[in-house]
Amino acid sequence: MSWVARKANIQGDVWPGLPKRFQTFLFFKIRKPDEFKTRLRSFVDEHITTAQEACDMKNQILAAKTKAKDSGVPAKILPLPGVNIAFASTGLAALGKFTFNEAAVKKDRNLSKIFKKNQLRGGLFGKGMYDDLVGEGWDEPKELRSQFKPSAGKRLIDGVLMVTASRAEDLRYKVLRVKEHFLKEPGSDDPDTVRYSNDPCLEFPFTSQGRTRPEKGKEHFGFEDGISQPLIEGLDEVAPKDKEPKAVKSGLIFARHDGDPMNQPEWAEDGSFLVIRDLQQLVPEFEKWLEDNKHNAPFAADSDDPKEKLAAYLMGRWRNGTPVDESPHHDKDPNLFRSNNFDFHPVDKHDKCPFAAHIRKMRPRGDLNHDHAVIIRRGISYGDEVTPEEKAAQKSSEEKERGLMFVCYQSDIRNGFNFLTTRWASNHHFPDRKANFVGEHGPGIDAIVGQRLNHHPERSIGLPDGKHPTEARIGLDRWVIPRGGEYFFTPSIKAMKEYLTGPPDYPPELAGP
Ligand code: N7H
- Residue 359 alpha carbon, nearest atom of ligand 1: 36
Residue 118 has pLDDT above 80, yes or no: yes
Compute, in angstroms, the gap from residue 328 CA to the centroid of ligand 1.
Answer: 19
Task: Please report the pLDDT score of residue 190 as a whole number.
Answer: 84
Burial (CB < 10 A; 0-12, 13-18, 19+), residue 254, is buried
- What's the mean per-residue pLDDT of the chain? 96
For atom 19 of ligand 1, the residue with the nearest CA is: 362
Which pLDDT belongs to residue 495?
Answer: 98
Ligand 1: atom nearest CA of 277 is 45
The CA distances from residue 496 to 41, 45, 507, in Å, are: 7, 10, 19
Residues above pLDDT 90, as percent of the chain: 92
Nearest residue (CA) to ligand 1, atom 33? 225
Best substitution site from 406, 417, 419 to test ligand 1's pocket, by max atoms within 8 Å of Cβ? 406
Q: How confident is the model at residue 166 (pLDDT cuts 50, 70, 90)?
A: very high
Q: Which residues line ligand 1 (CB under 6 A)?
A: 219, 221, 223, 225-228, 279, 281, 315, 317, 358-359, 362-363, 375, 377, 404, 406, 417, 420-421, 448-449, 480
Q: Is the pLDDT of residue 513 over 80?
A: no
| Domain ranges for the chain | 22-229, 283-374+416-478
**What local confidence, expressed as pLDDT, does residue 452 receive?**
92
Q: What is the band of 192 on the pLDDT scale with cuts at 50, 70, 90? A: confident
Average pLDDT rounded to a whole number, residues 268-290: 98
Best mutation site among 139, 225, 343, 376 for ligand 1, i.e. most ligand atoms within 8 A of its Cβ? 225
Q: What is the position in ligand 1's atom list of the atom closest to the CA of 425? A: 35
Residue 16's pLDDT band (boundaries 50, 70, 90)? very high
What's the distance, Cα to Cα, between the start and end of the chain in Å?
35
**How far is residue 482's CA from residue 413's CA, in Å, rounded to a whole number?**
17
Atom of ligand 1 nearest to the CA of 224: 43
Share of the chain above pLDDT 70, in %: 100
Three-class secondary structure assignment of 302-354: CCCCHHHHHHHHHHCECCCCCECCCCCCCCCCHHHCCCCCCCCCCCCCCCCCC
Whether 248 has a pLDDT exceeding 80, the answer reads yes
Of all protein residues, whose CA lies closest to atom 36 belonging to ligand 1? Answer: 359
Query: Mean pLDDT, to the nearest integer, of 187-212?
Result: 92
Find the 358 Cα to ligand 1 centroid distance in Å.
Answer: 7
pLDDT of residue 1: 87
pLDDT at 75 over 90: no
Question: Which atom in ligand 1 lies closest to the alpha carbon of residue 374?
Answer: 46
Cβ atoms of residues 363 and 227 within 8 Å: no
Average pLDDT over residues 329-350: 96
Q: What is residue 53's predicted lDDT score, i.e. its pLDDT?
A: 98
pLDDT band at 76 (very low <50, low <70, confident <90, very high): confident
Of 95-109, 144-158, 181-195, which range is least confident? Answer: 181-195
Distance 429 CA to ligand 1 centre (A): 19
Q: Report the pLDDT averaged over residues 146-160.
A: 95
Helices and strands in the chain: count of H runs, count of E runs: 17, 11
pLDDT of residue 128: 97
Q: What is the pLDDT of residues 411-462, one digit of tens each?
A: 999 999 999 999 999 999 999 999 889 989 999 999 999 999 989 999 999 9
Residue 394: exposure state from Cβ atoms within 10 A (0-12, 13-18, ≥19): middle
- Ligand 1 centroid from CA 92, angstroms: 30
Q: Rounded to the nearest whole angstrom, what is the distance from the C-alpha of residue 85 to the centroid of ligand 1?
A: 23
Residue nearest atom 28 in ligand 1 by C-alpha distance: 359
Q: What is the pLDDT of residue 494?
A: 98
Cα 220 to Cα 23, 102, 146, 216, 284, distances in angstroms? 16, 44, 24, 11, 10
100, 513 contact by CB (below 8 A): yes
Q: How far is CA 118 from the centre of its chain?
A: 26
SS3 217: coil
What SS3 class is residue 22?
Answer: strand
**Which residues, at least 6 apart from 84, have a Cβ–Cβ distance to it below 8 Å?**
11, 12, 13, 14, 18, 48, 49, 161, 162, 490
Q: In the structure, what pLDDT confidence band is assigned to residue 511 with cuts at 50, 70 and 90?
A: confident
pLDDT in tens, 220-235: 999 999 999 999 999 9
Ligand 1 centroid–CA 30 distance in Å is: 33
pLDDT exceeds 80 at position 172: yes
Question: pLDDT value at position 422?
Answer: 96
Atom 42 of ligand 1, residue of closest alpha carbon: 362
Question: In this model, does residue 187 exceed pLDDT 90?
Answer: no
